[in-house]
Structure 1
Amino acid sequence: MLLRLTSSDMLNTSLVDVITGKTMYTIVTSIVDIQDTPESLPGAASPFGIISPSLVLTDRLETTSVHLPSSRPSSPSTRVSPTPEKLQLNDAPPTLSSIQVRKTEIQASDSGTLLADIRWNGRRPDIMLMNQHVGPLTALFDITTVQLLPNTLAIPSRFDTEFVWNATAHSLTLIDLDSDQTKGTFHQNVFRVSSSSNSAAGKFIHTRIPGVGHNYIEFESHPLVEDVEIIVSFFMMEILRRGRFALTPYMFERPKLWQIIEAKDLIMRRLSSRRNTV
């Protein structure tokens, strides 16, 4: 399946099937008035509760340590089981008065059925998929074993331990370790060239410039999971990828400003790299 994002803001967009031209999913993120939602208060048992005490999406992944201690040599095949302490913030959680609460809803465009509901307490997600309350981000992936590779963040999926999310500074893919095949890719800032309008196959030309080109999610459906879970996982991994590699963090608002900041950061990184090579 190849889906094109109609907006540069991945949490406020529609996903269009490239083959049929049909809008498959509608994604909307909005601010929640917590004074009008009693279930959002701390300690509430609602499956849509906003407090997620485990993994937190931050602008830098240092709060979610997946690095080996400096005293131990890293190895491409090294696997570690992160402790709960490493997956939590060191400081106290923010109070409700100091955070912005939002909700992200993903609906099937044809029927209007709610497929996913994500409540954000600041940058802490609480995830609902179909009729299942997944909970915090740690529950969306298999974090019991984390694979450490050079310049790579690799996290197994929860629906198939052989399917691993593979993030680098320049890419985000879903890999099947059994077949060593790519089962999913997040194409960003690209132009697609295809010889046939009836085929998802085509060549992607990367512009490397934020806001120039289009964004696509390409993946194969898995028999053990709904497509919407793969889509949500793509978005969560993209936010984590940006934190892990010190890229411009995702912004909930003003996507145009986000693109300008990202372009500026990209230029500064390239200039810094050139200075270091001179």
Structure 2
Amino acid sequence: MLLKFTSQDLFETALVDVATGQPAFRLSTTVIAGPSSGLVRRETEIRDGAGSLVGTIGWVGRVPQTITLLDESVGGLVDLFASNTIQFIPKEISIPTRFDTEYLWTATPDSLYLLDYDSDTRMAQLHMHAPALKATHAPIPGRGAAYLELSPHPLGLAPPVEILVSLLMLDILRRGRFGLPPYSFAPPSRLKQAWARLRPRRNTV
């Protein structure tokens, strides 16, 4: 499965299935408490293609504090990655997943992926600023965009929303570790109108 982010802002975007053109997820972020209470507090909602809420991320400043996935209140980053110890080596971050010890969340300065350690196979990958891709993963002309690539196997171990959120959180860690530009929340956009156009219409006849 190959999903394309429709915006450069990964927390204010829709994800569309490249093969079908159908929306798979929508992420939208709102301010819930302003600077008068200290750091700005925000909440990111993640909805599936039908519009059902499947996850949330609560932010204090730029730090993710609370994460929910489906009906589970996961907690913070330590709980999401189920590890108090993150392995930092000079050019790589490696974190065991909470759903299978043979899988590792892995980040380098220019890659983010879920690795099956036994087979040395990337089971999911977040392509940042990639050339436009087809469903066959072949490059086609176009501006760089972000894509989420999922192989079928990890979907039997964890829901797609967990893989999506984990890779996005890994990107937050990667930016700090490798001195990349930090994520900055953008002002609200017209994403809701764009999402409404993407959502499948029900037959009311």
Specify the TM-score bucket, using the shorter chain as the normaliser. 0.7 to 0.9
Contact 1:152 1:168 in 2 (8 A): yes
Aligned with 2:107 (options 167, 176, 180): 167
Contact 1:190 1:206 in 2 (8 A): no
1:31 equivalenced with 2:22 (yes/no): no
Contact 1:155 1:165 in 2 (8 A): yes
- Matches of 2:58 and 2:85, distance apart in 1: 26
* 4+ aligned runs moved over 6 Å, structure 1: none
- Matches of 1:4 and 1:154, distance apart in 2: 25
Matches within 5 A, 1:21-100: 21-33=21-33, 97-100=37-40
- Matches of 2:116 and 2:171, distance apart in 1: 18
Q: Aligned pair in 2 of structure 1 residues 122, 145: CA closer, same or farther (>3 Å)?
A: closer
Q: How far has the Cα of 1:243 moved from its partner?
A: 0.7
Aligned counterpart, 2:68 = 128
1:201 equivalenced with 2:136 (yes/no): yes
Report the identity percentage.
Answer: 42
Matches within 5 A, 1:237-276: 237-253=170-186
- Matches of 1:5 and 1:147, distance apart in 2: 29
Q: How far has the Cα of 1:96 moved from its partner?
A: 7.4
Aligned with 1:140 (options 58, 80, 86): 80
Q: How far has the Cα of 1:129 moved from its partner?
A: 0.7
Q: Aligned pair in 2 of structure 1 residues 97, 108: CA closer, same or farther (>3 Å)?
A: same
- Matches of 2:133 and 2:25, distance apart in 1: 23
Q: How far has the Cα of 1:118 moved from its partner?
A: 1.1
Gaps of 5+ in 2: 189-205
Aligned with 1:232 (options 143, 165, 180): 165
Q: How far has the Cα of 1:222 moved from its partner?
A: 2.7
1:2 equivalenced with 2:2 (yes/no): yes
Aligned with 2:54 (options 115, 118, 125): 115
Q: Structure 1 or 2: larger strand share?
A: 2
- Matches of 1:168 and 1:254, distance apart in 2: 29
Q: Aligned pair in 2 of structure 1 residues 176, 205: CA closer, same or farther (>3 Å)?
A: farther
- Matches of 1:171 and 1:203, distance apart in 2: 18
SS in structure 2 opposite 1:31?
strand
- Matches of 2:88 and 2:107, distance apart in 1: 11
Aligned counterpart, 1:215 = 146
- Matches of 1:226 and 1:9, distance apart in 2: 23
Q: How far has the Cα of 1:251 moved from its partner?
A: 0.4
How many residues in Structure 1 have an aligned counterpart in Structure 2? Answer: 185
Q: How far has the Cα of 1:180 moved from its partner?
A: 1.0
Contact 1:188 1:206 in 2 (8 A): no
- Matches of 1:178 and 1:185, distance apart in 2: 17
Rg (Cα) greater in structure: 1
Which one-letter code corresponds to 1:179 in the other structure? S
- Matches of 1:158 and 1:102, distance apart in 2: 26
Aligned with 1:105 (options 9, 31, 45): 45
Q: How far has the Cα of 1:193 moved from its partner?
A: 4.8
Q: How far has the Cα of 1:181 moved from its partner?
A: 0.5
SS in structure 2 opposite 1:29?
strand
